[in-house]
Chain A
C-alpha cells in the first residue's frame, strides 16, 4: 500500500474504474480522476458518445487515449447524454491539466438516482487507489 499524491475532491463520487461524477439535482457531470490521468500519461484523444445516447451504469461509453495506452470510459450512472465537452476535441490535454474542472467529459440526465449511493466515497476511492487501483 502506497500513499497516493493524487487529489480526491470531497464533493464527488467515484467508480473503481476511475471515473468521477458530480451530482447536481438530476444532472451528473462525469470525468476521469486525477489518479487515472496521471497513470495514462499525456492524453491525446477522447472519444465520447453522441448527445442523446442512453447509457446504462457500467457500460463502456467511450475511450481515452494517451500516446501509448488506451483506456475505456465506463458510465458511472444510468442516464441520457445531455452534453459532451467539445473543447476536448482540440485540447485533450485539459484532461491532464484539470481533470476535475475543464477536463470534464460529459453531462448526463440521471435516470436512476439511487445508483449514486453505490458509488465510492472520496475516502473509499482513495483506499481503492492506494491498494493498487485495479
Chain B
C-alpha cells in the first residue's frame, strides 16, 4: 500500500464547510505533513484491501475447527441489527432518556445470560474473555477483602488457558497449578489436600480444555466452599452444554461468557470480543459500575454501588457485540440453544470416532464439544502436529488449535461446532486420513507443507531476532 502511494492522490474529500477557517494555532503546535502516510485514490484502497482479503481463509468459506475458539457461523442478520442507525450512532454518554433502546438491549441480554447460565446478575462491561477473567477475580478479591482477608492463592488446573494465570496475577494473587489426573480432570485428592484458608478461588474451565466435563464439579465446589473459597468458571466452553445444564446450578460463584464464542459474534480477525461476567447474589454488590438499573420511567445507568470494584471499560463495554448476541439468543430461543449444544457435541464425537486409532487419543474420557488428538502415531515417520496443521491447508481446511492444551504433547485440538454439516465433517475426516497416509508413504510432502498457500512457512525466528514492525521507504524514497 505504501509503495503504491503517489503524492496528490486522495481517497476521500472532507465535508464542505461554508464557515470561516479557524484561527491558525501557533507553529509550536502544528506539524508538518505526516511522513510516509499513504496517498491513494478510493479505487486503489478498495483494490488493495480486496486483494488482502483474498489472502485470508475465512469461516464463511469452510470449516475452521480451532479448538477452544468456537468458530461457529456468524449470522448475517446480527450484522444488520448492530448497524441500525439508532444503535450505531448512539453516543455512550447520552442521557438515559435518549438511550432507552440501548439500555433495554443490555438489560435484556443480562437477563437472558442469567437464565442461560443460572447466575444472579451480570456485567456486560468486559471487552473480552481475558478482561472478564480479570473482572471476575477482582470481585473475588473484593469479596474476601470484605470479610477481612483477601487470601493469597488462586488455584488453576495445569490444562488451563494461559490467560487464567495472567489474569490472577494482575489481581495480585499467587498462582498454584493443580495437576490433572489420568482422565485429564482436576485431581480431587490433590485439591482436597491443597485446600486451605489461603486459597481465594479455583479457576476452572468446564468442560476443560480436553473437552471433558469435570464429573466431580459438585464435589469440587463443595471443597472450595467448605474452605471459605470460591469457584470461578472460565465459560469459554459453554457451547458444549448451553440449554443442557447451568454452571449456576453446579455451585459456580462467578463466571465469564464469551459472546464471540457461544453467542456467535464474529471473530473479526482477532476481535473485538466481549466477555460478560455473571455472579451469584453474594458477589453482586462488587459488580463493575455503571450498572443498568430499572426505574419508574425506564432504564438508567447507575454508579451508586459503594462496594463495586470500579470500572473496567472506557464506557459500557462492547455494545455492538451485546446487540449481536441478543439477536442470536432471540433467533434461537430455548430449543434452538439446546440444539446447538447437541449438534456441537454430536459433531465432535463423530470426528473422534472416525479419526480415533489413526490419530492418537491421549485421553479417552468421553468428549463433549471438542476432541484432542496428538501426533504420537506419526512420530515414527518424522511428522509432527505442526506438519499436519500445515498440510490441512493444502486440502482447504483451517487447521485445528495446535500444541494446546500444554498437558498433551503435540496436541491437535479440534472443535467443529454445530455449524458443520455431515458433508463438511466427512471431507475434513478424509483430509485428516489422507494426511496420515501421506505421513507413511511420502512424509516429505507433509513436512514441507503448505504448498498451495500465498506464502510457505515463514521464518519466525529471523523475524523475532531482528523485528521489522513497520514499513519504511527503502527504495521509492520520494516521488514528490
Contact = CB atoms under 8 A, between A and B. Distances in A.
| A touching B, CB within 8 angstroms | yes
Interface of A: 41-45, 65-68, 90-93
Contacts of B465: 44-45, 91-93
6 tightest A-B contacts by CB? A42-B461, A44-B464, A67-B460, A44-B465, A67-B461, A92-B465
Nearest to B465: A44
A93 B461 contact: yes
Given A42-B460, A91-B465, 8 more contacts: A43-B461, A44-B465, A45-B464, A66-B461, A67-B460, A67-B461, A90-B466, A93-B461
A44 B403 CA distance: 20
A93 to B, nearest CB: 7
A66 B403 CA distance: 16
Nearest to B466: A90
Size bin of chain B's contact surface: under 10
Nearest to A44: B464
Contacts of B461: 41-44, 66-67, 93
Contacts of B403: 68
17 contacts: A41-B461, A42-B460, A42-B461, A43-B461, A44-B461, A44-B464, A44-B465, A45-B464, A45-B465, A65-B464, A66-B461, A67-B464, A68-B403, A90-B466, A91-B465, A92-B465, A93-B461
Contacts of A67: 460-461, 464
Interface of B: 403, 460-461, 464-466
A93 B461 CA distance: 9
A94 to B, nearest CB: 11
Contacts of B460: 42, 67
A90 B466 CA distance: 7
**Residue of A44, A45, A68, A91 most packed against chain B (CB within 10 A):** A44
A59 B477 CA distance: 50
Contacts of A42: 460-461
Contacts of A66: 461
Nearest to A65: B464
A93 B464 CA distance: 11
B403 to A, nearest CB: 8
A108 to B, nearest CB: 26
A57 B341 CA distance: 54
Contacts of B464: 44-45, 65, 67
Nearest to A41: B461
A42 B458 CA distance: 13
A86 B464 CA distance: 18
B170 to A, nearest CB: 18
Nearest to A93: B465
Contacts of A65: 464
A67 B403 CA distance: 14
A44 B460 CA distance: 9
A41 B465 CA distance: 13
A89 B161 CA distance: 32
Q: Which residue among A65, A67, A93 has the maximum number of chain B CB atoms within 10 Å of its CB?
A: A67
Contacts of A92: 465
B328 to A, nearest CB: 35
A65 B461 CA distance: 10
A63 to B, nearest CB: 14
B65 to A, nearest CB: 21
A42 B466 CA distance: 13
A133 to B, nearest CB: 15
Contacts of A91: 465
A45 B464 CA distance: 8
A68 B464 CA distance: 10
Contacts of A90: 466
A68 B466 CA distance: 16
A1 B465 CA distance: 34
B141 to A, nearest CB: 27
Contacts of A43: 461
B160 to A, nearest CB: 18
A44 B467 CA distance: 10
Contacts of A41: 461
A87 to B, nearest CB: 13
A42 B465 CA distance: 9
Central interface residue in B460, B464, B466, by most chain A CB within 10 Å = B464
A21 to B, nearest CB: 26
